[in-house]
A and B are shown apart, each in its own frame.
Chain A
Amino acid sequence: MAEQVSRVVVRFAGDSGDGMQLTGGRFGTEAARQGNDIVTLPDFPAEIRAPQGSIAGVSSFQVHFADRDIVTPGEDLDVLVAMNPAALKVHLPSLRRGGILITDSSEFTKRNLTHAGYQTDPLTEGVLEASYQLVSLDLTSVTAEAVAPFGLKRKAVARTRNMFALGLVSWLYSRDMAPTRDWLQTRFAAQPEIRDANLAALEAGWNYGENTETFAVRYEVAPTTQAPGRYRQISGSRATALGLLAASVASGLPLFLGAYPITPASDLLHELGKRKAFGVQTFQAEDEIAAVGAALGASFGGALGVTTTSGPGLALKQEMINLAVMTELPLVVIDVQRAGPSTGMPTKNEQADLLQALWGRNGESPIPVIAPNSPADCFRAAFEACRIALTHRTPVIMLSDAYLANGSEPWMIPDATALPVIDPGFATLPNTEDGGFAPYRRDPLTLDRPWALPGTPDLQHRIGGLEKSDGMGAVSYDGNNHDTMVRLRADHIARIPVSDAVWDDPSGMAKLAVVGWGSTWGSITAAVRRVRELGLPIAQIHIRNLNPLPANLGALLRRADRVIVPEINLGQFATILRAKYLVDARSWSRIRGMPLTVSELTEYLLSEVEEVQHV
């Protein structure tokens, strides 16, 4: 008889070569397929193959699954699978007291222990058993025995250990392993002995749980209540790529991606490179500047020009983005933020490119900025970035980040036929009295300029980085004209319609509002729920459009007695709110390369709420 639990956090951790990303990914899929809500969090080193068994080489994948709606990858682990001493060293602090610790004892050799900084073997000291349910197996031997019939080499045998671990944890949580079996069948169809060995290791792991009395109890997590529909699991990278593709289909414009490989944005280049059947042209450029330049050139010719990068690449692209500002051409820039400054921590998360996106260019250079708030939300944000760029003729920056890109969650598959049409509205006729074309004669309402493509008869015109005269677009160094154009460019972006911000306060009594943007939505939402579960009122406002900001935001902020802004930077958005709305927005920040910690944020919010509610 299995014990019912509401939510579980499992982390698979091991050496870079141990297949932990794959194991975690499959476990997440099993949970999603069983109807649980899931959020996943991969964490891997920047080094491709750090020295085996070293702390630097530890790779992990966390899966949070529940019988209800969840918004974060979870923090206190219920289960930690540590494949070697280094993984144990790095991840043990995250395991809750009483949690299940599964280790491969055969990896606890003197050499590996030394690598991980252990003087003695923690498995034999009897200390771990005092705090955790320690399940220490000789995974190497039991797996080797299970796959012996397939005649694999020693190294290949070691590579099936992860499937044994997956089988064992799948048994523990009464998972349906059919999707994983199907996946192995397809993945290794061409290598029957590898396929059969992995299947055997998976079954052996399950049977180990079933036949030994290692675990006192087994658990079940019931399906959650989700809106009816067809679902899939999706990562932020894939959702972003699909959003761009959807915008290409909705606009009828071919997608052109100019990109230079950079962590953690390269997956977008990989993903779109596979979409040639949609007419997608991916151009791996010689550098970040050439990547954005080619995208702008493609836009000039009437394609949907996109470039993808991370913070250091965005810095290099800014001059070209400014040319797009001056020429008022569409350009979509996806910045998958990572920890900076400089090279920083390439695989770790941060949201410190906000001010760079908004203000990191010379001159007065306003551009729309959008930030998705969850992996699946990247689809909608990417689509919206394209729509704004194409219809308003402007570069748009989408601020994704390493957590959104690599994290995944269930996603209700949208109906492709219901996507809104994006009309680029190309100019085809002269717009001056003498039959010429004035490239900066704007729509009086939106201030969008007409966009005429090369190849259109009689609309020949020149654009460029020099200041242009209002309307005609001739080169102009006139001071008054420049003042007019600076204000027109600002007004043009300010007029782009964005949805109102929402004051989310079920109690109707909140005096404290917590304001966030981008990927911190999950952590903030989870913390806000905990505060409310304790009966305290708190309002949440989450911003997707960072420029222009929602028109009602100032009024919402002034409704609160206290405004708290949690961010993974030193208070960049808080600075903007203070400057723009003259409110006492208080920054709360943790910059550790990881999502904000819900328990820590909850504690802080509780103390703040108690203070303002009792004033």
Chain B
Amino acid sequence: MSENQDQTHAQGGLSKVPLSATPLKRKDFTSDQEVRWCPGCGDYAILSAVQGLLPELGIARENTVVISGIGCSSRFPYYLNSYGMHSIHGRALTIATGLAITRPDLAIMVITGDGDALSIGGNHLIHALRRNVNITILLFNNRIYGLTKGQFSPTSEVGKITKSSPAGSLDTPVNAVSLALGAEATFVARSIDADRAHLTSVLRAAFEHRGSSLVEIYQNCPIFNDGAWDALTAPDSEGVIRLEAGQPVLASGGRLGVVQASDGHLELAPVSEVGLEKVIVHDPTATDPTRAFALSRLTDSGLMRRSPIGIFRKVDRPCYDDLSREQIATAQGRVSPDLHGKTSQLQALLAGDDTWAVS
């Protein structure tokens, strides 16, 4: 790796985005559009968290872009006063990729859902993450297709009864965090719509990360899948396993801790029995993703009772768009000084190296 590349990726995700000349407020990011999500939808809380966070980031409003796919969550761009595109099903990441490669001065957010990102757009998610394009992905996971009125989604539990699965769905659900880690993602986190403070802190870290940041947000759909996350959002919830850098990984108010079993996998054990020193200490910056992946497997795949929340992985790797621009700069640096400007360069190229004259 060149010294130049080291410098580039040492910078944060917003380092090339111009700052706002004047301090901005929440209302500066509120659009004039009437919000049309169902009453009680978890999307409201996420929108509010983003509208609260963006002014704090200090970046210029006009350099903020939201790209979404299709689904309830993908209506998001209309409600944020920035540049935005509500695109087509599953393809938001492709559009964001082209934009990020050509416009380093933009803070690009992709809003997507479990159907949009993990089903129809699953291929693009894998490739955006492995390329490490500098974009922040908010994946709203409500474990259901809401906009099409309640079919099971790729994150629904096995056996889920819906209109399209009257005898129960047969699909094994996908774990978005495990998938992202398998796709070589450099920033992978999970939060919950109902936990505003946690969501804001995770989103801030995601924006500040240079590269593709995936934040899975457990989001409640009160109409078609109400209570999907109750085990994690109840005030006395014991299901949340908190991931905090440098801290032991604990759950159930500290009574349970995550320990490594003799065969290598991670499991929960009473701290009083195993001792706090056996509880693993979370390190999201570990280069090897094995531990992060093992943590991601602590999530229930059936009815959700327990799940780690926080930043699983945050490592530095050069991003695709920075490298692509470096290749351009390198090539431009090699252009012969005889060729002043693009027109002379073009003339030389039009002619090629094998010409003849007719007089």
Contact = CB atoms under 8 A, between A and B. Distances in A.
Contact of B99 (A290, A300, A322): A300
B350 A294 contact: no
A141 interface: no
Interface string A321-335: 011000100000000
Interface in B80-94: 81-88, 91, 93-94
B354 A229 contact: no
A258 B346 CA distance: 21
Interface stretch (B46-54, B102-110, B164-172, B276-284): B102-110
A365 to B, nearest CB: 13
Most buried by B among A232, A234, A242, A258: A232
B351 interface: yes
A457 B86 CA distance: 20
B12 to A, nearest CB: 19
Contacts of B93: 290, 293
Interface in A158-195: 179, 183
Interface in B303-325: 324-325
Interface stretch (B185-193, B226-234, B327-335): B327-335
B56 interface: no
Nearest to A463: B85
B357 interface: yes
A320 B350 contact: no
A257 to B, nearest CB: 10
A461 B78 CA distance: 8
Q: Size range of the interface on A? A: 35 or more
A360 to B, nearest CB: 16
A290 B127 contact: yes
B101 A455 contact: no
Contacts of A474: 33
B356 A319 contact: no
What does DSSP make chain A's interface, helix, strand, loop or mixed?
mixed
Contact of A283 (B83, B97, B342, B345): B97
B13 interface: no
Nearest to A179: B354
Most buried by A among B85, B91, B94, B359: B94
Given A297-B98, A460-B62, A465 B354 contact: no
A552 B352 CA distance: 39
A275 B327 CA distance: 11
B63 A462 contact: no
A287 B123 contact: yes
A95 B106 CA distance: 62
Contacts of A283: 97-98, 101, 324
A297 B81 contact: no
Most buried by A among B33, B81, B328: B328
Interface string B62-82: 110101101000000110011
Contact of A298 (B98, B334, B358): B98
B262 interface: no
B351 A294 contact: no
A227 B31 CA distance: 61
Given A293-B97, A293-B98, A228 B359 contact: yes
Contact of B94 (A293, A415, A466): A293
A217 interface: no
A242 B345 CA distance: 12
Interface stretch (A28-36, A366-374, A594-602): A28-36
Contacts of A32: 356
Contact of A281 (B78, B101, B127, B349): B101
A276 B349 CA distance: 13
A256 B96 CA distance: 13
B184 to A, nearest CB: 14
A462 B98 contact: no
A414 B331 CA distance: 25
A585 interface: no
A458 interface: yes
A425 interface: no
A415 B350 CA distance: 9
A258 B324 CA distance: 13
A211 interface: no
Interface string A29-60: 10011010000000000000000000000000
A297 B334 contact: no
Contacts of B78: 462, 475
Contacts of A463: 84-86
B91 A320 contact: yes
A392 to B, nearest CB: 19
A175 to B, nearest CB: 14
A305 B98 contact: yes
Contact of B356 (A33, A249, A475): A33
Nearest to A290: B94
A233 interface: yes
Interface string A289-302: 11111111111111
B95 A229 contact: no
A497 interface: no
A294 B98 CA distance: 4
B18 to A, nearest CB: 8
B358 A413 contact: no
B357 A230 contact: yes
A127 interface: no
Contacts of B358: 35, 226-231
Contacts of B7: none
A274 B275 CA distance: 61
Nearest to B321: A281
A414 B51 CA distance: 53
A417 B346 CA distance: 9
A447 interface: no
A291 B127 CA distance: 12
A555 to B, nearest CB: 37
B61 interface: yes
Given A301-B106, A323-B87, A455-B62, A277 B331 contact: yes
Contacts of B357: 228-231
Contacts of B272: none
Contacts of B106: 301, 454-455
Nearest to A256: B102
B62 A230 contact: no
A151 interface: no
Interface in A233-285: 233-234, 242, 245-246, 249, 254, 256, 258, 275-281, 283, 285
B63 A454 contact: yes
A278 B346 CA distance: 8
B347 interface: yes
Given A231-B357, A283-B98, A417-B343, A301 B103 contact: yes
A303 interface: yes
Contacts of A416: 343-344, 346-347, 350
A322 B354 CA distance: 41
Contact of A454 (B70, B103, B327, B356): B103
Contact of B354 (A232, A276, A298, A459): A232
A464 interface: yes
A207 interface: no
A249 B345 CA distance: 10
Contact of B62 (A183, A286, A454): A454
Contact of B85 (A29, A414, A459, A462): A462
Interface in A561-597: none
B123 A286 contact: yes
8 contacts: A229-B358, A230-B358, A232-B356, A277-B335, A281-B101, A281-B325, A294-B97, A454-B99
Given A416-B350, A454-B103, A465-B87, 19 more contacts: A35-B358, A229-B357, A258-B94, A277-B334, A277-B335, A277-B345, A278-B342, A297-B98, A298-B101, A299-B98, A302-B103, A303-B102, A413-B350, A455-B63, A457-B62, A460-B81, A464-B68, A464-B86, A475-B78
Interface of B: 18, 31, 33, 60-63, 65, 67-68, 70, 77-78, 81-88, 91, 93-103, 105-106, 123-124, 126-127, 324-325, 327-328, 330-332, 334-335, 342-347, 349-352, 354-359
